[in-house]
Amino acid sequence: MANELEWVVAPAKAPDVLIETEKGWIDTQLAPGIPPVSLERARERRRFITDNYFPRIKDADVVVITLGLIEAWFDTTAGIYWNSTPSLWAVRRNPGRFFFESTDYETNQRYLNRVHDLLQKINPTARLVVTVSPVPLTATFTGRDIAAANTYPSRCCGPSLKVSPTGTRMSITSLALNW
């Protein structure tokens, strides 16, 4: 979310978030599981998201963000976290480009503050509602037991909501059911 809001504030700074896979092109900022498409279609979709979709936040009364997973892949070329896992094909084709991180409280707090600050620049009257909703993993890159890995994000993300960024009010709804 922070990436997309950064690009609303400064569109010229948006890195290329499209990457080739063995079956076509994906947008690393979209949800996992969206099938690869042609490069032309991927560019068309990214233009729509950047030029039309996220700029609508300027007119929103409420913005809802749900925190969930803390297992993240960082793309050293683009300088951003992905919303999905790079394929083995992409990792082998681009050695050293990606690294795995299990984000901690401080990282989550920093990004949540950044989202809040960006939203204030884009639309200072919009209310921010943040929820914590555990997303069940079927596998983990941490080496933890999957049951333990599924409870950790809520324990890590939930407390970050208790710190009000920049002393302003935030509406917070916690949906963490597995604490």
pLDDT at 67: 79
| Alpha-carbon gap, residue 86 to 115, rounded angstroms | 24
| Alpha-carbon gap, residue 105 to 150, rounded angstroms | 16
Whole-structure pTM value: 0.74
Distances (CA, A) of 29 to 26, 45, 134, 158: 9, 11, 19, 23
The residue ranges of every structural domain in the chain are: 2-174
pLDDT at 176: 37
pLDDT at 102: 83
Nearest to 140 by CA among 129, 151, 155: 151
| Alpha-carbon gap, residue 129 to 125, rounded angstroms | 13
- Full pLDDT tens readout for the chain, 179 residues: 888 999 999 887 777 889 899 999 999 899 888 999 999 999 999 999 999 999 999 999 999 888 777 788 899 998 888 888 888 888 999 999 999 888 888 888 888 889 999 999 999 999 888 887 666 666 666 666 666 665 555 555 555 455 444 444 444 444 333 32
- Answer yes or no: are the C-beta atoms of 28 and 78 closer than 8 Å: yes
